[in-house]
Structure 1
Amino acid sequence: MISRNGVRINRRPYVHVDSQTVRDTAMSYRALGILTYLLDQSEDWQVKSEQLSKGEGREGRDAVRKALHELARRGHYRLERRRFRNGQNAMGTAISEFRVEQWAKDYVTFGENLTVPVVEQEDGSFQVHYPDGSFGTDGFTTEAAGAEPDLDDELEEETPAEEPETPASPALKPSQVAKPAAAKKAPAKKATPKASAEEPKEAAAQKAAEKALLDADAEEVAKWWWADAEKRYGPYVGDKHGYLGMRKQVRNALEKGYTKNQCGKALIRAAKHWPSAQQWQDALGIVANHIQPRNAGGRVPYSDAATWGGPGDSTSIIPGATNGPPPSTPADDDHDDATFGIVERP
């Protein structure tokens, strides 16, 4: 202890967090706590707001999502839609214990969306693919490291200290000081009009990219459900625009922040090819844990298929699911050793 009234600390294996991050007064304690928790996880751990909101003393999913957006805004967190050189795609999470200025800028560039597309390069690194087709650093290079401002400060402090040690030459000192100053100002003046001119194009391209992504995700869920519902309930014989109406419901839900997996579960709960608006809203609320299931008689109606499984169960995987659907338990799969029948008595 440095002093008698100082702090005593019990130390164990710890999570390293940059001191500037801890002292960032623009970040809430909630966001700082979630960042610390994420940094303590293994690399194969998947970041999910639903998982972060579970457990005693945890805050709700909406609070967690707001904190993740705050971390993204401060340059500590983002989701990456990764495209690999072999053509495969995957979603992953990027976390930084220090502030990455490029991440904060990308959060604004992509319309305050957590997801940023990145493309694998020949050396195994990644670059961000911007809406205008250009590529930029992913923030993991040394040039984008959070320590860069500190290095600049040190260089600026060292420069005047070294000048007096050089041979006294009044004619050289002004030129030495003026040249770097002019070099620093020139790029700044040239870059400003270019950035301002490209902003409308980037915003329009970003909106188009987001719309295309929403349309593709909605189409994926809708196609899956239309085929799955036909197996469950038979061919659809309702309104000819039923598929389009159902797909629009899914797209609206995705646009509001629901996941593809939640939309799939909600369609299963609604138990209709094309649920009504109220049925759809109730089903989404239940799968997202916003409302409790309601039963008119206070009891859940009995169903052989729901209890034991059967031909009506779908074996297809809901879009966006990380695991397959829970297996049904038909009678053929029973592994009990018990034998049922009439016992003959002597």
Structure 2
Amino acid sequence: MPYTNIVFNAAYWKSFTQRAKFTAEDIPDLTGKVAIVTGANSGLGYATTVALASHGAHVFLACRSQGKALQAIEQAKVDVKKKNPLFKGEAKLDFLALDLNDMKQCHHAAQQFLARGLPLHILVNNGGIMTSPFALSDNGIEQQFAVNHMGHFVFTMTLLDRIKESQPSRIVMLSSIGHEMTTKGGIDFDTLNDESKSSPTSRYGRSKLANLLCGKALARRLANEKVYVNMPHPGFVYTDLARNNKASLGTVAAGVYDMAGKMCAATPEIGALNQLYCATSPEIEENDLRGRYFVPVGNDCRPSHYALDEELQEKLWAFSEKLMHEHVREP
């Protein structure tokens, strides 16, 4: 059965009574900043893209589908002017082909960005999948782990030198309270591809735990740099992330989730605020906030004990590096 401490996480529930520390009006002027947002054509990624661009950032929409990304860019140009009527000119938005299901392509995507010779001040690793039926990635790795963690790991590592050159800079690794619904032990690397040892929900939890573990390990490695790595939970947001629920969890569970989403969930614009806080708030640099897990909005929260396990963090890091070196080959 999946391990979960959500019900007993006092810090998480306390966040519902705390004041939101950050709103869209608190985003500073981002003129001259360059950002990449993965999974940017819809949901949280799209809302994040519009918010960054409306404050002057040059944003790359890193997506698998060029058609959907180009449609999103045209709509974003309209939405930027709605959000900021004083915005002059046209929003700076570009498409970057990124398939998180394929590590080699993630490496290539990062190289394509690097070839443009631009700095990179903000990387928002937002893209992902949730509760999908069991499948293996193009590299033969359980798909939720592959897309939510490994694709972003390869993409980030390939971009890391440019991010360090561009400091002060930010890396945002979107996690979730769902990280507490992983299997016992957090991550069993030996059974990662064994469908019988997990469920759609625990596989999602495992991938979101990996985001936290990796973020903390990376923050530790960047302790002497002005590169701020943090991991936000967006809250309960109703997006198409739950599109696989019916196939993997059944009609009843999917229906309950949809009903709750329509009645109780936040909009993507509200849900994106926590990652925008990590990506743009001056507080991050002023208070030297690194390797933190934030719940909405801007509230520091203690994650599960698995996420705080430094030995597990390092084990995941070594495992991820090994996979990357096995599957990514320089031309």
TM bucket, shorter chain: under 0.3
Q: What's the TM-score, normalizing by structure 2?
A: 0.22
Q: What's the TM-score, normalizing by structure 1?
A: 0.21
Structure index of larger Rg: 1
